[in-house]
């Protein structure tokens, strides 16, 4: 089936090898990673943890206070953030200290700059 598109778009598309050329250059692995990170960040408790760790390294006991959730639930959120490569853990004696990875820090910096023109409610 032939679809009708504006001539200007058709010319641009031809220069890029047509629809197949454009489709072939879509970075599917990158999209998969971004989707995973976005799913992880779509939770307010995880965002609180991320922003808290941007301020200060912390153990889970402090993060439970900040997120106001049970230890087990907070640990679950921490594991999701670690799986997405946003935070890391270092064992210090009997404690595990969490901090942002460079990727996690860059996400927080980016979000801090981003201010929507209108807030959707």
Statement: residue 25 has pLDDT above 80? yes
Cut 0.85: pTM above it: no
CA angle in degrees (0–180, nearest 5) for 79-85-90: 65
Statement: residue 56 has pLDDT above 90? yes
CA angle in degrees (0–180, nearest 5) for 28-34-36: 105
Q: What was the pLDDT predicted at 117?
A: 67
Mean pLDDT, residues 4-33: 93
Mean pLDDT, residues 59-67: 96
Q: What was the pLDDT predicted at 17?
A: 94
The domain limits of the chain are: 1-42, 43-121
CATH number of the 43-121 domain: 1.10.10.10
Query: Under a CB-based contact definition with an 8 Å cutoff, are residues 99 and 90 in contact?
Result: yes
């Amino acid at each position: 089936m032939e679809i009708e598109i504006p001539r200007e778009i058709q010319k641009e598309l031809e220069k890029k090898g047509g629809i197949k050329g454009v489709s072939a250059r879509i970075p599917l692995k990158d999209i998969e990673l971004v989707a995973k990170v976005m799913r992880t960040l779509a939770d307010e408790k995880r965002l609180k943890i991320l922003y808290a760790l941007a301020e200060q390294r912390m153990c889970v006991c402090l993060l439970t206070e900040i997120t106001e959730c049970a230890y087990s639930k907070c640990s679950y959120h921490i594991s999701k953030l670690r799986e997405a490569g946003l935070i890391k853990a270092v064992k210090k004696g009997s404690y595990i200290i969490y901090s942002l990875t460079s990727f996690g820090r860059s996400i927080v910096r980016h979000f801090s700059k981003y201010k929507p023109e209108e807030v959707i409610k």
